[in-house]
Amino acid sequence: MTCSFQAEDVVVLHMLREIKPDIAVLFLDTVHHFSQTYAYRDELANLWKLNLINLRAAEPSPGLWQTSTDACCARHKVEPLFSALEAYDVWFTGLRRQQSPSRANLSEVEPFRLPSGKSITKVSALAAWTNRDVWMYAKAHDIPLLPLYELGYTSIGCEPCTSLPLDPSDPRSGRWQGQKLECGIHIQPVISRQSTVISRQSTVISRQSSVDSHQSTVDSHQSTVISRQSTVISRQSSVVGPSAVGTGSATGD
């Protein structure tokens, strides 16, 4: 499973350890995390004897976020994680629908295609959980949580791109100065989804055009048949006409 050591991830990890104590725990070391996050990771890894796997970019670029947060996320998060996931068939996450509008339609279990084309199963067991559910579970099981929550943080990522929530009703509003909601790992960019919708609409229009074209062909065929029938009737009338006239004259006599 991937674990940022936020509350949701730790709750899922607590559950999974009951089933598979040595489950691989993938942590994305972006070289930009809070010092408290690194300390908490090490503390919990030692306390729970975790099979912790720290992932780093092949060539880390400290400060890249100042130039482009998208490029920074791609290098330090997306690329190393997708590369590591090639070795697995199932991917557990701590994602929840309530976390963000961008996650409102999250499924508990869904296929996920990696850039290589490999398809794995993505499991978000807490998809339907509320904030209260998470905190109640942590309290009930005496799970220590990241100290940054006590300072008012509601969603915790890299230090340069994490602030206290700008909108109290949106837990992720403190990420990336409110400029975006996702780093690119879990949810595809909105423009990509719009392109998909446009592509589907184009397919529908294309299919409708094919239907219309087929209908035109049918109509044309029917017109040809009617035209031929008219020609036949006309020819029959030409043949029947003189005989009918002759018979009439005889009767008239």
Q: In this structure, are 181 and 74 located in the same domain?
A: yes
The number of folded domains in the chain is 2
CB-based contact 7:99 (threshold 8 Å): no
Do 170 and 196 have their domain in common?
A: no
Distance CA 207, CA 211 (A): 6
For the chain, which ranges sit under pLDDT 70?
A: 187-253
d(CA 182, CA 212) in angstroms, rounded, equals 42
Same domain, 110 and 206: no
In a domain, 2, yes or no: no
Q: Is residue 1 part of a domain?
A: no
- Per the structure, the complete domain to which residue 114 belongs is given by 7-187
- As annotated, the active-site residues are 183
Query: Based on the domain organization, do 115 and 236 belong to the same domain?
Result: no
| Residues 155 and 220 occupy one common structural domain | no
Q: Are residues 104 and 55 in the same domain?
A: yes
Q: What is the pLDDT of residues 159-185, one digit of tens each?
A: 999 999 888 888 888 888 777 778 778
**Which are the contacts of 98, defined by CB distance < 8 A and separation ≥ 6?**
129, 130, 131, 171
Q: Please tell me the pTM assigned to this model.
A: 0.71
Residues 208-241: tens digit of each pLDDT: 555 455 555 545 555 554 455 554 444 444 443 4
